[in-house]
Amino acid sequence: ETGVTQTPRHLVMGMTNKKSLKCEQHLGHNAMYWYKQSAKKPLELMFVYSLEERVENNSVPSRFSPECPNSSHLFLHLHTLQPEDSALYLCASSQDGQGGNEKLFFGSGTQLSVL
Amino acid sequence: SQQGEEDPQALSIQEGENATMNCSYKTSINNLQWYRQNSGRGLVHLILIRSNEREKHSGRLRVTLDTSKKSSSLLITASRAADTASYFCAAALYGGGSEKLVFGKGMKLTVNP
């Protein structure tokens, strides 16, 4: 186990649904990340939070809404998604949020299917 | 634009053989990291090599970095079936006031028993 837990592991939702992905880290890290992994594409960084403040938002559509209530928890709220949003969503954490200077600890991901 | 690009995209070898994966990138980097991902799981950090380092070892893993050629290689020696996974390189670059880690598409390694 990496110390980063994501729930649910699998999610199927219709385009009009609202759902949330949850991530919890037990490593005492100060930074948390959301990544999107689609087949045959590089990992895409979506959001970065450092000390509960959003420090990065990579032009992600507003139908994805992150929330970081404390340094251990990260949510991704989903609404009116499109079929092309189907992907594996990975949460990660790092010690200080120093970008590429640190190693990332990933959760197992939520496999999302949008019908 | 994509930084890390792994080559080959897929590799199949027999147990006991060595596996070499290459990564190329386009701009100057601060460091380069390698990760592995088992099917349906998250990525696991393997090794980080800084721009002023040329080679690094960790167990059966050996990573080299050639900044003049903008390339890195990951060598897994004496491979095992459990090494079957996808391997990603990630380049750390500085831009826009912050440092970012940019991943490649990954390379699938199959080790046959």
Distance CA B12, CA A102 (A): 31
Flag if A56 and B98 touch (Cβ within 8 Å): yes
Q: Quick one: pLDDT at residue A39? A: 85
Q: Does B90 contact chain A (CB < 8 Å)?
A: yes
Of B31, B42, B99, the CB nearest to A107: B42
Q: Quick one: pLDDT at residue A15? A: 87
Flag if A100 and B92 touch (Cβ within 8 Å): yes
Average pLDDT for residues A12-18, to the nearest whole number?
90
Residue B11: pLDDT band with limits 50, 70, 90: very high
Which of A107, A23, A84, A92 lies closest to A56 in space, CA to CA?
Answer: A92
The H or E element that residue A63 is part of is: none
Of the listed ranges A31-35, A51-55, B16-20, B47-51, the one predicted with least confidence: A51-55
> Per this entry, what is the length of chain A?
115
Residue B65 near residue B4, CB atoms below 8 Å? no
Cβ contacts below 8 Å, chain A against chain B, sum to 69
Distance CA B87, CA B75 (A): 11
Q: Quick one: pLDDT at residue B92? A: 87
Average pLDDT for residues A25-47, to the nearest whole number?
92
Distance CA B89, CA A5 (A): 23
Residue B3 near residue B54, CB atoms below 8 Å? no
Q: Does B97 contact chain A (CB < 8 Å)?
A: no
Provide CB contacts within 8 A for A64, sequence distance 6+: A46, A47, A76, A77, A78, A85
Average pLDDT for residues B97-101, to the nearest whole number?
73
Tokens at A61, concatenated: 């559509």
The residue among A101 and A86 whose pLDDT is bigger is: A86
Distance CA B72, CA A49 (A): 29
Q: Compute the Cα dihedral for A64, A98, A25, B59 and give only its sign.
A: positive
Average pLDDT for residues B92-110, to the nearest whole number?
82
Which residues of chain B make contact with A56, given a CB cutoff of 8 A? 98, 100
Average pLDDT for residues A57-71, to the nearest whole number?
90
Residue B4: pLDDT band with limits 50, 70, 90: low
Provide CB contacts within 8 A for B8, sequence distance 6+: B21, B22, B107
User: B75 — phi, psi (to 5°)?
Assistant: -110, 125
Strands B5-7 and A18-25: unpaired
Q: Quick one: pLDDT at residue A114? A: 94
DSSP 8-state code for residue A100? G
Residue B5 predicted with pLDDT over 80: no
For B25-46, the pLDDT digits (tens) are 888 888 999 999 999 899 999 9
Of B45, B99, B105, the CB nearest to A101: B99
